[in-house]
Amino acid sequence: MWRFLENGTREFLAGKTDWAVAAREAQECDAFREDVEEEIVADEPRSCYNCRYRRWTACSFMCMHPVERMGS
Ligand code: SF4
């Protein structure tokens, strides 16, 4: 679901309209923080699409919250 980059960020591979997956990912993420009201796009309140750590790209978004990966 994610492409991990060397700088510690990650790209969401499901695009901008996979509402169910974006909600599921946020449910499982302790770092979720709701964005300001004008940035809310998903009906599901807890969604990566509504998170202050997502930065939209042409095809999807980047999660800017640092990733702690097992074994690194
Ligand atoms: S955008 Fe990143 S920090 Fe926010 S809920 Fe999704 S995975 Fe977690």
pLDDT digits (tens, 9 = 90+) for 20-52: 999 999 999 999 999 999 999 999 999 999 999
Rounded alpha-carbon distances, angstroms, from residue 31 to 25, 53, 58, 59: 11, 9, 24, 23
For the chain, domain boundaries: 2-63
Confidence of residue 67 (pLDDT cuts 50, 70, 90): confident
CB of residue 23 inside a 6 A radius of ligand 1: no
More confident residue, 64 or 66: 64
CB of residue 51 inside a 6 A radius of ligand 1: yes
Which of 31, 15, 27 is CA-nearest to residue 64? Answer: 31
pLDDT at 71 over 70: no
Distance, CA of 6 to CA of 66 (rounded, Å) = 11
pLDDT at 70 over 60: no
